[in-house]
Amino acid sequence: MCRYASFALPEAKLGIFPDSGGVLRLPKILPPAIVNEMVMTGRRMGAEEALRWGIVNRVVSQAELMDNARELAQQLVNSAPLAIAALKEIYRTTSEMPVEEAYRYIRSGVLKHYPSVLHSGGCH
């Protein structure tokens, strides 16, 4: 995230219905008091605060932004696509499960990409 960027949930200030999903996602990553303040007042959160709360992974200058984005994109491109697909599916499905239940889910055969990853050795 660029150090001059910020984000907000401005619906309360604008008098519009919150249908973009932020109201649903923020409570999963921020304390209730912060969410309530942002949602009810439309307060903007700056890049450094977002970094402190773990909402963004890094904050860079505007001059470094595109180089950092390209570097991250290259790292993703260098990863095995089937493994990435399986990991995304595992994370989305199991992030709220207890560890034992998540292991059962992974090993149950319901993951559409998991068998391919096992047989490909994770290589692309």
Per DSSP, the three-state class of 6 is strand
CA dist., res. 117 & res. 124, Å (int): 9
Ordered by start, the domain boundaries in the chain are: 6-74, 79-120
Q: Options 3.90.330.10, 3.40.1050.10, 3.90.226.20, 3.40.50.261; which CATH number does 6-74 get?
A: 3.90.226.20
Nearest 5 degrees, angle CA 95-CA 110-CA 87?
A: 45
Higher pLDDT, 20 or 96: 96
pLDDT of res. 115: 60
pLDDT band at 118 (very low <50, low <70, confident <90, very high): low
Nearest 5 degrees, angle CA 50-CA 44-CA 47?
A: 30
Q: Which of 24-28, 31-35, 45-49 has the lowest mean pLDDT?
A: 24-28
Assess contact for 42 and 10: CB atoms under 8 A.
yes
Mean pLDDT of 93-104: 89
Assess contact for 12 and 19: CB atoms under 8 A.
no
Q: What is the pTM of this model?
A: 0.69
